[in-house]
Amino acid sequence: MWKKIAFLLAISTAVQSNELDNLINSSSAIVDQIDTGIKLTGAAMDYAHTGGGLSDGTLSSTAHISAEQVEAYNSALSNMATYQPYGNVRDVLNDMAIDSLDEMETAITTFSEVVVEMIAVQQVAEKAETATTPSEKEEVQTFIVDNQDMLTIDQEDVDTYNTSVDQIETSANEASAYLAVANNDEAADFLQQSIQDKNTTADDVNIFYDAGEQWVAMGYTTTKNLTAVYLNGSDAFGLDLYYSEADILAVGAESEFYKTSPIGMGYDCFFEMECE
């Protein structure tokens, strides 16, 4: 791969433990100590009044509640103020975008490697296009005849190229769709409210991008209904994301990835460092 692209993502994802789990664990730990203390007290009351037995004098320490346990419990109580029982749909969307970006990066690596394998076709094109005199055309002929094995393109490489470029587009669209909805307060709040209305959580719904419907939709395990945010500007959220082919190619032509590629730099400049 010729150069690594630095993707600047507007993703702010904090890794937080589950507040409810912390409360359960910390409170249960103290309850266990109190349970031990009550049992020890009951036994002490029994044998102390009858002279029926003795402990070794150290069992009471097993019922002690430590300062760390108290701190953990009180901290868990405080953190419940920010607990989100329905989950956070923005976090889910951001996580899905990260997954799609990872898939895109993998596909870009595959794409870049196979392009380098096939890029000799560019050298052929450049030589053929610049040959104007019979002698120059003869040179092109000689070059091709002498290097035909190296210049031949394998169908396997073509299949890899086609598959990878498809995956790049699919993953890029998914990532952009999820980020756009997550970063739109009204759209994200709409999905979050729908989760609460269905009495479920953000982790238990099925969120997906549908290119045909041009939306990010959310499905539920309890109903066949979908809640959707359109990405073509047709609803109240104002997300109008679809670019024309010409616009997308224009953006690509100005990208660092293109400008530092064999096509953008020229074959000799990229491989031989013979740049004008």
φ/ψ of 103, rounded to 5, equals -65, -40
Instruction: Kindly report each contact of residues 6-15 with a partner whose C-beta sits within 8 Å and lies 24 or more positions away, as own/partner.
Output: 7/101, 9/97, 9/101, 9/179, 10/179, 10/183, 11/94, 11/97, 11/98, 11/179, 12/94, 13/91, 13/94, 13/95, 13/98
Percentage of the chain modeled with pLDDT above 90: 50
DSSP string for residues in 58-121: -GGGGGPPPHHHHHHHHHHHHHGGG--TT--HHHHHHHHHHHHHHHHHHHHHHHHHHHHHHTHH
Q: Are 158 and 115 in contact (CB under 8 A)?
A: no
Q: What CA–CA distance (Å, rounded) separates 243 from 237?
A: 18
| Three-state DSSP state, 226 | strand
Instruction: Please give the pLDDT value at position 79.
Output: 81
pTM for the predicted model, two decimal places? 0.72
In the predicted model, residues of the chain with pLDDT beneath 50 are 1-17
Task: Render pLDDT for 233-253 as a digit per residue (tens, 0 to 9).
Answer: 999 999 999 999 999 999 999
- Residue-wise burial string across 7-26, b where 16 or more C-beta atoms lie within 10 A, e elsewhere: eeeebeeeeeeebeebbeeb
CB atoms within 10 A of CB 239: 23
Instruction: Please give the pLDDT value at position 17.
Output: 47
As a 3-state breakdown, the chain gives helix, strand, coil percent values, each rounded to 5, of 65, 5, 30
155-182 and 89-118 helices cross at what angle (nearest 10)? 160
Q: What CA–CA distance (Å, rounded) separates 264 from 267?
A: 9
Residue written as tokens 């209904």?
225
Instruction: Please give the pLDDT value at position 2.
Output: 42
Task: Render pLDDT for 122-165 as a digit per residue (tens, 0 to 9).
Answer: 777 888 888 888 888 888 788 888 878 887 888 998 999 999 99
Residue written as tokens 């789990």?
21
> Two tokens at 231?
């990405």
Instruction: Please give the pLDDT value at position 143.
Output: 80
Residue written as tokens 């509640």?
65
Q: What is the mean pLDDT of the chain?
A: 86
